[in-house]
Amino acid sequence: MKNRMKKRSKKSGLPPGSLILIGEPPSGHVRVTALDYDETTCIEKRNPDFDTCLQMRATEAVTWIHVEGLQVEVVKRISEAFDLHPLVQEDILNTDQRPKMEDFGGYLFIVLKMFRPEGGGTEPSSEQVSILVGPRSVLSFCERETTAFDALRERIKAGAGRIRKLGPDYLAYSIMDTVVDGYFVVLEATGEAVETLEEKLVLDPQIDVLRAVYKQKHDLIFLRRSVWPLREVVSALARTESHLVQEPTKVYFRDIYDHTIQVIDIVETFRDMTSGMLDMYLSSVSNRMNEIMKVLTIMSSLFIPLTFIVGLYGMNFQFMPELKWRFGYPFALGIMALTAGGLLLFFRRKKWI
Amino acid sequence: MKNRMKKRSKKSGLPPGSLILIGEPPSGHVRVTALDYDETTCIEKRNPDFDTCLQMRATEAVTWIHVEGLQVEVVKRISEAFDLHPLVQEDILNTDQRPKMEDFGGYLFIVLKMFRPEGGGTEPSSEQVSILVGPRSVLSFCERETTAFDALRERIKAGAGRIRKLGPDYLAYSIMDTVVDGYFVVLEATGEAVETLEEKLVLDPQIDVLRAVYKQKHDLIFLRRSVWPLREVVSALARTESHLVQEPTKVYFRDIYDHTIQVIDIVETFRDMTSGMLDMYLSSVSNRMNEIMKVLTIMSSLFIPLTFIVGLYGMNFQFMPELKWRFGYPFALGIMALTAGGLLLFFRRKKWI
Amino acid sequence: MKNRMKKRSKKSGLPPGSLILIGEPPSGHVRVTALDYDETTCIEKRNPDFDTCLQMRATEAVTWIHVEGLQVEVVKRISEAFDLHPLVQEDILNTDQRPKMEDFGGYLFIVLKMFRPEGGGTEPSSEQVSILVGPRSVLSFCERETTAFDALRERIKAGAGRIRKLGPDYLAYSIMDTVVDGYFVVLEATGEAVETLEEKLVLDPQIDVLRAVYKQKHDLIFLRRSVWPLREVVSALARTESHLVQEPTKVYFRDIYDHTIQVIDIVETFRDMTSGMLDMYLSSVSNRMNEIMKVLTIMSSLFIPLTFIVGLYGMNFQFMPELKWRFGYPFALGIMALTAGGLLLFFRRKKWI
Amino acid sequence: MKNRMKKRSKKSGLPPGSLILIGEPPSGHVRVTALDYDETTCIEKRNPDFDTCLQMRATEAVTWIHVEGLQVEVVKRISEAFDLHPLVQEDILNTDQRPKMEDFGGYLFIVLKMFRPEGGGTEPSSEQVSILVGPRSVLSFCERETTAFDALRERIKAGAGRIRKLGPDYLAYSIMDTVVDGYFVVLEATGEAVETLEEKLVLDPQIDVLRAVYKQKHDLIFLRRSVWPLREVVSALARTESHLVQEPTKVYFRDIYDHTIQVIDIVETFRDMTSGMLDMYLSSVSNRMNEIMKVLTIMSSLFIPLTFIVGLYGMNFQFMPELKWRFGYPFALGIMALTAGGLLLFFRRKKWI
Amino acid sequence: MKNRMKKRSKKSGLPPGSLILIGEPPSGHVRVTALDYDETTCIEKRNPDFDTCLQMRATEAVTWIHVEGLQVEVVKRISEAFDLHPLVQEDILNTDQRPKMEDFGGYLFIVLKMFRPEGGGTEPSSEQVSILVGPRSVLSFCERETTAFDALRERIKAGAGRIRKLGPDYLAYSIMDTVVDGYFVVLEATGEAVETLEEKLVLDPQIDVLRAVYKQKHDLIFLRRSVWPLREVVSALARTESHLVQEPTKVYFRDIYDHTIQVIDIVETFRDMTSGMLDMYLSSVSNRMNEIMKVLTIMSSLFIPLTFIVGLYGMNFQFMPELKWRFGYPFALGIMALTAGGLLLFFRRKKWI
C-alpha cells in the first residue's frame, strides 16, 4: 500500500486531469478484445483500431470493449472514441482508486477491485477494474492480463443463457459478478490460512505464528477497505434511477449486493477471529510460562530447605553433638526426607502439582 | 462456516441463476407436505405431484406446500408450478444465504436461519428456511427433515385458534414464530454452558476452559450473524406496504420483532459475559501465579540468609574463634532463628503473609 | 436472566396469544385497586368485580385500575372488560418483555421495568410494570405487591396538585415518573457500592473485590438493557400524535425523558468506572507483585555472591594460603561486607531501593 | 457526581414541579442584578423587588435579570413575574440537569454547565447556568456568586460593540459565549496537567501517577458529559425556527457551535492521550521490571554454577585427588573464572547485557 | 496543540468579532499576490494597495488575492475591500479553526489545514488556509510564506489547461486540490516512518521505539482531526446549491472528495497499524523476557539439585560411609551427572529446550 501511495505523489503539483499511470509500470502487453453482439449475431475483434471502435459504437448491437493492461495511449484513444470526461480517464489510470460508482448522465463509471490468490499463496493480489456502461456499450479496463473474464466471453459467444438477449447493464452485472465471485476464492484461501494459524497457536505458540497473524490481519484490513465501498457501489446500482440500468436488471444487482454483504460478513468474522488469536497467543504463551515457572518454584522450594540442612551439618563447630551421633547421618537424611515429603504434601494440597 | 464457504466457490464462473445445491449434500430423503385449507375444510397431501400443486394453487383456499430436504429437481418443479424468479430458486438452494426479505411484487421471499441444539449439546446447528408468501399460498423449504413444524400442522388440521380464519400472511408469521421460538431453546443451552464455564473459570482456571470460552464466542458470533439481519427482515415485514400482508397481521410481526430484539439482547449480553470471561481467566490465573510466587519469594528470602550463615561457619579458616566456643553451635542456631523470625515479622508487617 | 429465559421456552410450540405466566410463580396475593375520579369526586374500590369495572369504564371520570400480582384469570377478566388485544394480554403476563410503547389506536400499551433495592442490598430487583392508557381510563399491572404507588394514590385521593384536573395521560405520566424516580434510588446504592469497591481496590486488591466488580458490571448491563429502550418509549410518548396524549402533558413526558437521559448518563459513567476498575485492579496487583519481586531480587542478589564467597573458603584444598592467615576470617568478612555494600550502592544508584 | 445524585433522591415520591433545591445548600448570598437597556439608555438595579421586575418587563428595552446563588423563594418570585412553567422552575433549582434547550413558545429555556478551575487546581468545578430568553428579556441563574459575567455587564453599560443595538438573543449568545470561553481556560489547565503526567510517566512511573491519570480520566468523562449535549443545544439554537432568535444572530450561534466542536475535539484528544497513558505506564513499569529481572537473572546464572563448584570442593571425601594437588586451589579458581567468563560471553552474544 | 490552545484563552472575555491573531506571532513578512485574469488577459500585482483591490474587484475578470503571512492590519484592509463579516475576519486570524465551509450568501468561506513535512522530518507541520469564493473573486490566506501555490500561479499565467476559461469556483478547487495533494506527501513520509518503526520493533524492541510509536500515533490523531472535517467540507461543496459553484465544477469537487476519502483510508490504516504495533512490542518484549527466564529456569533447576548433593557430602558427620569409600568421589560425580542428564532429558521432553 505504501508503494502505491508513493507513486500517487508523482501527480502532486500537476493540473487535474493529467493522464499519468499510477500503479505498476505497464508490462507492455495490452490486450484489447471487442465484442459486438445482439440476440442473433456476435462479432469478436482482437486489438481493434480507433475506427473499428467508432463503427462498433455506431451499431445497434451491444458493444463490449475489454482492455487488459493499462497504457496511457490506449486508454486515451478509446476514451476519445467514447467521449469520456478527462477525470474518468485519469481515474482509469490511477489504479489506487477506491471502489466507486459515478453517474455522468451519458454513462455510468464503476471502479472495482479484483482479487486473486497469487501463485496459490494466501496473499491476495489486488487490481483495479474500471467499467463504463453506456446506452449500447460497455468498456472495461483491467491492470494486467487475466483469464478471469474468458468464461464470460465464451458464454456470450456461445449465446448461452439470457446474456445475449439483455442489454449492457446485464453485461456490466456479469463482469461485476465475476469479480465478486473471485472474492470467495480469496476468502477460502484466507479461511484455510486462519484455520492453520489457529491450530499452530494452540499446539506451538511461536512468535513467527504471531507475525503471520499480523500479516493476515493486514491483508484483511486491505480486503476490507475494498469490500465496504463495493457494498455502496452495488447498493447504488440496485437503487439507481439512471435510464442506463433497466428495472429487471436491478434484481441481479440486488443479488450481487447479497453476495457483497456475505463477503463483508466473512471478512468481519475473520477479523474477529484474528483479533481473538492475539489474546489466545498471549494466553497460550503465558500458560506455558506458568507451567515452567511452577516447576521452578517447586524445585527451588523443595531444595532450598534441604540445602540449608546440609549446610547446617557442614558447619565446623567443635561442639556439634549431632555430628558425633552414631546415626547422625541417617538422622539428617531422615529430617530431609520428612521436609521434602511435607513440602510435596503442602504443594499437592494447594493443587500446585 | 469455512466448509460452507468452500462450497460457495463451486459456483464461481457459472452464469447467474444456475441451480446448484450449496450446503450439505442431499440425504436423499425429501418430504413434501401440502395443506389446502380454509375456515371450513382442510386437505393434506403427502409428496404431491406437479399437477396436484397446480390444482391446489388454483383453489381459493390457502395452500401451504412445505418441503423438507433440498433436491435440485424438486425445488425446480415446485418453483415452476409457482412461477418463481430464477434467482429465488438459486437462493433456496444456496443454503448460505443471509436472512433477508425481498418483495417480488407477486410474492414475498423470506430467508431465515433455524437453530436447534444438536443431540443435547450446546453447539447450535443451523439450517436455512426459505418462505414464499403468495396471494393464496405459502411455500416453505427446510434443508433437512425436522419435527419443528409438526405442531403447527396439527394446529391447522385441528382448526384451533385463529389460523384457519386468516390468510397466508398469518401462516408465514406462524412459521417464523416457530423458528424464532427455537432460538430461545438454543439460548437456554448457551446460557447454561456460559454459567458452567463461569464457575469453572473461578474454581479451576484451566486452558481447556479458555478454549471452551473461545468456542462459545465463535458460536455466538455465528448466532449473531443470523439474528441481526433477522431483525431487519421482521421489521421490514411489520412495516411493508405489500398487499400480501394484511394490516391486522402486522401486529403479529411486531410481536416477532420484539422477540427478535430480546434474542439480540440476550446474545449481546452473552457476548459481553464471554468477553469478561477472558479477563476473568487471566486475572484468576495471574492470581494463582501470584500466590505461588509469593510462597517462593518468602521461602527463598527466608532460607537464603540462613544458608549464608551456615556457609559462613562451614569455612575452613584456622582462626575462627566462634568455631571453638562452647556454645558456638547454639549461638549460630540462635542467630538463624532471630534472622528467620525478623524476616517473618517483616513480611507480616508488609502484609505479604 | 437465565432463569427467566428458561421459562420463556415453556411457550415454544404454543400458538401465539396463549396466556401463560412467564416469570415468578404467582404468590397467590393479587391486590386490585380501582380509583374513579374527576375534579370533584374520587371513589376507591378494593378488588372490584367484573361488573364494577364495566361500570367504572362507562363513567365520564378517569378510571385507574391497578393490579399488583399477576394471575392469568385476573388479567384475562380485566382485559376482557377493556377489550384488549390477545397479544397485549400475553405481553402483560410474559414478564420478560423489553420496555416498549405500542399504539393500538384505542389505547396505548406501555411496558416498563421497575427497580428497587431488595433488602437494602445493592442488587437491583426488577419487575415489569404494564400500563394501558385509554380515553378515560388507565390500567396498570405490577408483578408483585408494592408500596411504590401508595403515595400517588394518596395524592389523588387528597386532590392535591394538578392530577385531579387532568386526564389519564397525566396519570400514566405520574406512574412512569414514580418508576423512573425509583431508578435514582437504585443508582445511589450502586454509586455507593462502586465507591466502596474503588477504595478497596486501591487499599487491598483481593480477587474477591474483582469478583464484586464483575457482579456490579453484570448488574449494570442488566440495568442498561432496561434503561435504553425506556428512553425510546418516553421519547415516543413525548412526540406521539395519538389523541390519547394531550399537548400540555407532553412537556411532562419530555421531563421524564430528561430524567431517563440522566439515568443513562449515570449508568454509562458507572460502566466506564467499573471498566477502569479492572485495569486499576491489575495495576494494583502487579504493583504489589513488583514490590515483592524487588525485595526478592535484592535479597537474592545480595546473598548469592556472599554465599559464593563463604563456599569458597569452605573448600577443602590442602593448599589454600588464606585459610592459614592470621586474619583470614576477618579478611573474608571484610570482602563480604565490601561486596554487600557495593551491591547496595549499585541498587541505590539504579533507584531500585 | 454521586453526592449530587443522592440529593436527587430527596425528590423521589414528591409530585412533579415541586420546588426543592438539589445541589449545594444555599450559601445565603443571593446577588440579583437587573439591567434595562436599549441603544441609548442603560439602567442597572441591584437586588430589585418584584414590582421593579414587573416594571422592567413592561418596558420596550431589553431586560436582563441575572441571579447568582439559588434560593427557592427568589427563583419562585422571579419566575412568577415572568410566568415560567413549573417544570422550568424545578429545573432551575435541580442543578444536576443535562445541558438542554427547550422552546416553550413564549420563551426559550437553555441549561448550560459552567466550568472554572477552582483555586488554580486542575480539578474543574462545574455549576449550572440557566438562561431564559423572552421577547424583550433574558433571565439567567448561576449556582454561586461569580465574576465571570462582570466583563459582559461592563460592556453593556459602556455601550461598546454591537450588544446595545441588538436584542435579547444576542445577549443570550454573549452569556453562552462567556461560558464556552471558560471551557478553554479549564482545558488549558487540563492540558498542562496531562503534559506533566506524561513526563512523569516516562521518567518515574509510580502508582501515584497512575492514580492521577485515572482522576484526570474521570474529570474528562465529567467534562465530556457536559460538552456533548452542549453541542446539541447550540446546534438547535443555530437552526431554530423560533421567532425569538433573529436570523443575523444565528451566525453567532454557529460561531459558538464551532467553538464547542473544538472543545469536543480537544476533550476527545485528551481522552485518547490519557488512554494511551495507561498502556505507557504499564510498558514503562514492565520495562523497569524487565531491567531488574535481567540483572537478577544474570547474577543468579553467573553465581549458581560457581557456588556449585565451590560446594564440590567442599565435599569431605577421603579420596579426592584435586584436594591434594599443589595447585588445586588456583586450578579451581581458574575453572570458576573460565565458567564465569564463558557465561558472560554467552549473555553478551545473546545481547542480554 | 496545547500551545495553540493556550493562546486561544487570550480571547476569553473579549467581545466576539475581536480581531486578535491566535497562532504563531507574525513573522513580519506578508506577501500579497493579486491576479486578475480572464480567458484572454492576465494581470499580476504584488502587494497591491486598497484601491487596486477595489478596482480589481470591480472588473469582470476573475480576481485572486492571495495573502501569505497573517497580520491583523492586512486582513482587516482586504476584508473591508470585500465586505467580509466580522466573524469571518476573526476566523481567518484564529488559526486553530477546524476545517469548515460556510455559505454567507454573497460568498463561501472555506477553512482548510495544509500539511507539509518540515525539514524532511516526519513531523507534519500544519497551517491554516482560508479561502473566500465570491462571484468574480477568490481571496486566500496562509499563515506563512510558502511555495506550494507557485505552480498554480504559473499555470494561470501560462494560460495552460482549463483554468483561465473557468470561474472562481474552479480556482478555489485548484487551491484545495493543491492542499489535498500535500497530504499525500506527508502520508508518504509517515508511511516510511511506520515501516521503519515496524522493522525496529521486531528486530530490537526498545522502549525508545515505543515512544516513537506513541509520537506517531499523536501525529496521526492530529492529522485525522484535520481530515475528517475536510471530508464534510468537500462533500458540502460537491452538493452545494449555492450559485457560486457551477454544476460542471462539482465533478472536480467530487474528485477531491475521492482523494479525501483515500487520505482518510490511509490515515485509518496507519492508525490500525500503529495500534497493532503496541501489541507487537509487548509480545516481542515478553517473548525476549520469556527466553531469558527460560534460561534462568533451566540453569537454576539444573544446579539446585547438584548443589544440594555437593552440600550433602560436605556434611561433617563422623559416620558417613560414602566418604570413606574408595570411589566415593567418582560415585558422587556420577550421581550428579545422572541427575543433570535426567533433568535435561525431562526439559527436552517438555520441549523447553
Residue B234: which pLDDT band, with cuts at 50, 70 and 90?
Answer: very high
Residue E12 lies in a domain: no
User: Averaged over E138-167, what is the pLDDT?
Assistant: 88
Residue D334 belongs to domain spanning: 286-349
Give the gap in angstroms from C-alpha A299 to the nearest C-alpha of chain E.
Answer: 7
Residue D202 Cα to chain centre, angstroms: 24
A273 touches chain B (CB under 8 A): yes
Instruction: Please give the angle made by the CA atoms of D227, D233 and D234, to the nearest 5 degrees.
Output: 90
| Burial of C44: CB neighbours in 10 Å, binned 0-12, 13-18, 19+ | middle
Q: What are the chain E neighbours of D352 within 8 Å (beta carbons)? A: 292
User: Which CATH number belongs to the domain containing residue A37 in this structure?
Assistant: 3.30.460.20
Q: d(Cα B102, Cα A265) in Å, to the nearest integer?
A: 19
Across the interface, which of B161, B279, B315 has its CB nearest the CB of C278?
A: B279
Q: What are the chain D neighbours of E214 within 8 Å (beta carbons)? A: 276, 280
E186 touches chain A (CB under 8 A): no
User: Averaged over D236-256, what is the pLDDT?
Assistant: 92
The strand order across the sheet containing A124-133 reads A42-46, A31-37, A62-68, A137-142, A124-133, A108-117, A100-103
D225 touches chain C (CB under 8 A): yes
Note whether B150 and B231 are same-domain residues. Answer: yes
Q: How many CA atoms lie within 13 A of A301 on its CB side?
A: 23
User: Which comes out higher in pLDDT, residue E204 or A315?
Assistant: A315
Q: State the angle between helix axes of A328-349 and A247-312 in degrees (0 to 180), rounded to the nearest 10.
A: 160
From residue A234, how far is each of A102, A111, A180, A255 by CA, in Å? 12, 11, 11, 9
pLDDT per residue as tens digits for the range B136-146: 999 999 988 88
Beta strand pairing call for A108-117 and A124-133? antiparallel
B203 touches chain A (CB under 8 A): no
D184–E5 CB contact, under 8 Å: yes
Whether D112 contacts D243, CB under 8 Å: no
pLDDT at position E73? 87
E332–D318 CB contact, under 8 Å: no
Residue A266 Cα to chain centre, angstroms: 11
Closest residue on chain C to D103 (Cα): C251
Residue C161 lies in a domain: yes
D188–E2 CB contact, under 8 Å: yes
Neighbours of B161 (CB within 10 A): 18
D155–E296 CB contact, under 8 Å: no
Note whether A330 and A196 are same-domain residues. Answer: no
Chains that touch A (3 or more CB pairs under 8 A): B, E
pLDDT per residue as tens digits for the range A108-165: 999 999 987 655 444 567 889 999 999 999 999 998 888 889 989 999 998 877 888 8
Closest residue on chain D to C163 (Cα): D15
Domain stop point among A283, A303, A336: A283
| Burial of C18: CB neighbours in 10 Å, binned 0-12, 13-18, 19+ | middle
Q: How many CB pairs under 8 A join D and E?
A: 139
Residue E278 lies in a domain: yes
Across the interface, which of C254, C272, C316 has its CB nearest the CB of D221?
A: C272
Looking at residue C5, its amino acid is: M
Note whether D84 and D210 are same-domain residues. Answer: yes
pLDDT at position A1? 39
Residue E147: which pLDDT band, with cuts at 50, 70 and 90?
Answer: confident
CA-nearest of B35, B23, B141, B146 to B89 is: B141
C255–D87 CB contact, under 8 Å: yes
Closest residue on chain B to A290 (Cα): B289
Q: What are the chain E neighbours of D262 within 8 Å (beta carbons)? A: 96, 98
Residue written as cell 468481519? Answer: A268
pLDDT at position A2? 40
Give the gap in angstroms from C-alpha E11 to the nearest C-alpha of chain A.
Answer: 38
Note whether D306 and D318 are same-domain residues. Answer: yes
Residue B288 lies in a domain: no
Note whether A205 and A328 are same-domain residues. Answer: no
C-interface mutation test, from B184, B192, B256, most C Cβ less than 10 A away? B184
Ramachandran assignment for B17, one of left (phi > 0), alpha (psi -120 to 50 degrees), beta (any other): left
Closest residue on chain E to D147 (Cα): E13
Note whether D155 and D23 are same-domain residues. Answer: yes
User: Which CATH number belongs to the domain containing residue B323 in this structure?
Assistant: 1.20.58.340
Note whether A220 and A343 are same-domain residues. Answer: no
Q: What are the chain B neighbours of A195 within 8 Å (beta carbons)? A: 2
C-alpha cell at A318: 567443635
Whether D98 contacts C262, CB under 8 Å: yes
In a 3-state reduction of DSSP, which class is residue D128? strand
C9–B184 CB contact, under 8 Å: yes
Residue D97: which pLDDT band, with cuts at 50, 70 and 90?
Answer: confident
Note whether A196 and A315 are same-domain residues. Answer: no
Closest residue on chain D to E101 (Cα): D258
pLDDT per residue as tens digits for the range B258-296: 999 999 988 988 888 887 787 778 777 777 777 787 877
Give the gap in angstroms from C-alpha B322 to the nearest C-alpha of chain C.
Answer: 11
Residue E137 lies in a domain: yes
Residues 132-151 of chain C with CB under 8 A from chain B are: none
Residue A3: which pLDDT band, with cuts at 50, 70 and 90?
Answer: very low
A275 touches chain B (CB under 8 A): no
Task: Using the predicted structure, report yes or no on whether residue D3 has a pLDDT greater than 50.
Answer: no
Note whether A220 and A294 are same-domain residues. Answer: no
Q: State the angle between helix axes of C207-239 and B247-312 in degrees (0 to 180), rounded to the nearest 10.
A: 160
Domain stop point among E283, E315, E332: E283
B-interface mutation test, from A165, A267, A287, A308, most B Cβ less than 10 A away? A308
C102 touches chain B (CB under 8 A): yes
Closest residue on chain E to A15 (Cα): E161
Give the gap in angstroms from C-alpha A147 to the nearest C-alpha of chain B.
Answer: 11
Residue written as cell 523443595? Answer: A302
Give the gap in angstroms from C-alpha B339 to the nearest C-alpha of chain C.
Answer: 13
Residue E16 lies in a domain: no
Q: Which residues pair with D235 in a beta bridge?
A: none
Radius of gyration of chain D (CA): 34
pLDDT at position B62? 93
Neighbours of E311 (CB within 10 A): 31
Domain stop point among C257, C277, C304: C257
Residue written as cell 499525500? Answer: E184
DSSP code at position E133: E
Note whether B270 and B332 are same-domain residues. Answer: no
Note whether E224 and E246 are same-domain residues. Answer: yes
C318 touches chain D (CB under 8 A): yes
Alpha helices in chain D (DSSP H): 2-8, 50-58, 72-81, 86-93, 150-158, 168-203, 207-239, 247-312, 321-324, 328-349
Closest residue on chain E to D275 (Cα): E214
Q: What are the chain D neighbours of E221 within 8 Å (beta carbons)? A: 269, 272
Q: Give, for all 353 residues of chain C, the pLDDT tens digit.
A: 344 454 555 566 666 666 666 665 556 678 899 999 988 889 998 888 878 888 888 888 999 999 998 888 889 888 888 899 989 998 999 888 889 999 998 999 999 999 876 554 445 678 899 999 999 999 999 988 888 899 899 999 988 778 888 899 999 999 999 999 889 888 888 888 888 888 888 777 777 887 888 888 888 888 888 899 999 999 999 999 899 999 989 999 999 999 999 999 889 888 888 877 877 787 777 777 777 877 777 888 888 899 999 999 999 988 888 888 889 999 999 999 999 999 999 988 888 87
Residue B8 lies in a domain: yes
pLDDT at position C12? 62
Q: How many domains does chain D have?
A: 2
Alpha helices in chain A (DSSP H): 2-8, 50-58, 72-81, 86-93, 150-158, 168-203, 207-239, 247-312, 321-324, 328-349
DSSP run (H or E) holding B137: strand B137-142
Residues 276-315 of chain A with CB under 8 A from chain B are: 276, 279-280, 283-284, 286-287, 290, 293-294, 297, 300-301, 304-305, 307-308, 311-312, 314-315
Across the interface, which of A11, A98, A325 has its CB nearest the CB of E262?
A: A98
Task: Using the predicted structure, report yes or no on whether residue A230 has a pLDDT greater than 50.
Answer: yes
DSSP run (H or E) holding D62: strand D62-68
Note whether D148 and D194 are same-domain residues. Answer: yes
User: Averaged over B42-62, what is the pLDDT?
Assistant: 86
- ipTM exceeds 0.90, yes or no: no
Residue E64 lies in a domain: yes
Looking at residue C155, its amino acid is: R
Q: What are the chain A neighbours of B17 within 8 Å (beta carbons)? A: 161-162
Number of H helices, E strands in chain E: 10, 7
Across the interface, which of C293, C311, C317 has its CB nearest the CB of D323?
A: C317
